[in-house]
Amino acid sequence: MTRTLYPASRRPFALVWLSLIVLPLAVITATVTRLHRNHLSTLAAEWSTRGEAAYRDGRAGEAVDDFRSALMYAREDRGLRLRLARALVADGRGAEARGHLLTLWQDEPGNAPVNLELARIAAREGNLADATRYYHAAIEGAWNAQAERRRRESRLELADYLVSAGESARARPELVALSADATDDLALRKTIASLFARAGQSASAESAYEQVLSVTPNDTEALSGAGEAAFRSGDYAKAARYLARAVSRGESQPDVVRDAAVAQLVLDVDPSQRRLGMTGRATRAGRAYETATMRLTECLALHPESVDLHALSARVERIAPRAQARAVARNPDDIETLMETVFDVETATARACGEPTGMDRALYLIALARKTER
């Protein structure tokens, strides 16, 4: 017969005693575990706070160390791992950051902040294909808060990257999408206009600046931007109007002040201005001829071996009798012939002797504008 530890009559008492021992132990274990977890969470939070402060202050290396310490106490915290990756990127350690980010990306390919950081690393490395792919994933991905604003910021960052990389054609659709989404954000519209200008898309830049001016007509930055865009498009009448207004409102950037003067000079020397009578057109054509002749003489002195410049010189001499203002006034059809010669001289001398200045530059710009129109 098997002997029992407790007689049947005493088993209930034994169970009671066991429960009195085991239950407190379980409670104590759970309490200790909870306290330990709380302690780890506190340590992780403290290191994370230090890391955030260092990151904000531009001390990326310290932030990396702090976030690593925080991760020791919260290894499964995805937000901490993302902050560590950001600090690594800021510290120029893209390869290390990519490892952390790809770990996060494998679990959540649609995580927008993770894709954005991967895009930034690819952009820094000059990997256009990966940068573009990750930026689009960030634009289309999931954000925890302020999704529309963050998507817009990501697209703006992509557009800026593409323009800086010389990919103006790829930047255009991003800028068009931003323009449609800009609504009443005038600061964003000016940024978009500036990117269009940097991309060499002057017409789009001018249009974007004019949208700002339709709301704030005296915005000096928009006036300067619209004027410079019109100047580069060869619309010197519009450029002169915008740039003159910008200068009158205190714009002092040397390029803007110079281009305002040049645009006005173009209008003052161009004989094709509609408001001019025949006498005015003839006078301007004669003055343009004299200016071009002097420029050609100076350029020939520097390049006496140039066959092209000598041929132009002979051409200029042949039409000299027809270049006087009175002669031009008597034969209006000669104005076009005269100006064709002037434009050819200014173009050839710019090529041989460098960018002209003053009235020669004004005539050269008119020549370029006419060539573009054709």
Give tens-digit pLDDT for 150-205: 999 999 999 999 999 999 999 999 999 999 887 778 999 999 999 999 999 999 99
Q: What band does 1 get if pLDDT is binned at 50, 70 and 90?
A: very low
The Cα–Cα gap between 173 and 226 comes to 21
Provide the residue ranges of all domains of the chain, joining segments of one domain with +. Answer: 42-234, 278-373
SS3 111: strand
pTM greater than the 0.75 cutoff: yes
Residue 94's nearest CA partner among 131, 58, 140, 66 is 131
pLDDT band at 36 (very low <50, low <70, confident <90, very high): very low
| Angle at which helices 254-269 and 220-233 cross, to 10° | 50
Helices (H), the chain: 11-56, 60-73, 78-90, 94-107, 112-124, 128-140, 147-164, 168-181, 186-198, 202-213, 220-233, 236-248, 254-269, 278-302, 307-318, 325-330, 334-353, 358-373
For residue 324, pLDDT beyond 80: no
306 or 25: which leads in pLDDT: 306
Contact yes or no for 230/242 (Cβ under 8 A) = yes
**pLDDT by residue (tens digit) across 242-254?**
999 999 999 999 9
Would you tell me how many other CB atoms lie within 10 Å of the CB of residue 262?
20
pLDDT digits (tens, 9 = 90+) for 119-134: 999 999 999 999 999 9
In the chain, the amino acid numbered 111 is N
Q: What is the pLDDT of residue 30?
A: 53
Minimal CA–CA distance to 339: which of 283, 274, 262? Answer: 283
Mean pLDDT score, 82-109:
86
Tell me what pLDDT residue 39 has: 46
Region 111-119: what's the mean pLDDT? 94
Q: What is the DSSP letter of 125?
A: T
Rounded to whole angstroms, the Cα distance separating 363 from 360 reads 5
Mean per-residue pLDDT of the chain: 85
CATH superfamily of 42-234: Tetratricopeptide repeat domain (1.25.40.10)
Do 260 and 248 meet the contact criterion of CB atoms below 8 Å apart?
no
Give the pLDDT band (50/70/90) at residue 81. Answer: confident
For residues 161 and 55, give the distance between their C-alpha atoms in angstroms, rounded to a whole number. 23
The pLDDT value given to residue 336? 84
